[in-house]
Amino acid sequence: MSNFFKKLSVLEADYSKALLKLVKSTGQKKLISNPFLDGSLKESWKISLNELEQVGNQHLIFSNLNNDLSTGIDKMVKDKDNIRKKLTNDGQKLTKDMKAQIEVCQKAKLNYHKLSKEAEVAHTLLSKGQADPKMKQDKVSQLSSKASQASEKAQQADMEYREILNTTNIKQDEYYNTDMPTLLKEFQTFEEDRIVQSKDSMEKLAIFVKEIPPVVQHAFEGIEKGAQQIDKDADIRQWVSENRTGVTVPSHIEYQGFEGEAASGNNNSTSSPTNFRVGTYKPPTTQIKEWGLTSKDQSLSSTEKIAKLEQQHQEISQSIRSEVQARSGIEKLIQFYANDPKEQKKAEGELAEADKKIHALKENQKLITAQLEELGKTNLSGSSGGGADLSNSNGAGATGGATRVVRVKGLYDYDATCDTELSFREGDILTVTEQDSSGWWYAELAQSANPSASIGSLGFIPANFVDIIDG
Tell me the three state secondary structure of residue 178.
helix
**pLDDT number for residue 258:** 61
Residue 285 reports pLDDT greater than 60: no
Residue 396 reports pLDDT greater than 70: no
Going from N- to C-terminal start, the domains of the chain cover 2-221, 295-470
Residue 311 reports pLDDT greater than 50: yes
The secondary structure of 9-69 as a DSSP string is: HHHHHHHHHHHHHIIIIIIIIIITT-TT--HHHHHHHHHHHHHHHHHHHHHHHHHHHHHHH
Mean pLDDT of 384-413: 56
Helix and strand element counts for the chain (H, E): 9, 6
Q: Determine contact, residues 388/442, Cβ cutoff 8 Å.
A: no
Residue 428 reports pLDDT greater than 50: yes
Q: Is the CATH number 2.30.30.40 carried by domain 295-470?
A: yes
**pLDDT number for residue 162:** 95
Percent of the chain clearing pLDDT 90 (strictly above): 25
**pLDDT number for residue 4:** 92
The secondary structure of 101-139 as a DSSP string is: HHHHHHHHHHHHHHHHHHHHHHHHHHHHHHH-TTS-HHH
Residue 58 reports pLDDT greater than 80: yes
Which has the minimum average pLDDT: 62-66, 332-336, 346-350, 363-367?
A: 332-336
Residue 362 reports pLDDT greater than 90: no
Q: Is the pTM of this model over 0.85?
A: no
Q: For the CA atoms of 36, 37, 38, 39, what is the dihedral angle to 10 degrees?
A: 120
Q: Is the CATH number 1.20.1270.60 carried by domain 2-221?
A: yes
- Per-residue model confidence as pLDDT tens digits over 104-133: 999 999 999 999 999 899 899 888 888 888
Q: Determine contact, residues 354/323, Cβ cutoff 8 Å.
A: yes
**pLDDT number for residue 383:** 35
- Per-residue model confidence as pLDDT tens digits over 238-281: 877 777 766 666 777 776 766 654 444 444 444 333 333 333 33
Percent of the chain clearing pLDDT 70 (strictly above): 85
Q: How far apart are CA 279 and CA 281, in angstroms?
A: 6
Q: Which residues contact 299 (CB under 8 A, 6 or more apart)?
A: none
Tell me the three state secondary structure of residue 385.
coil
Q: Determine contact, residues 227/44, Cβ cutoff 8 Å.
A: yes
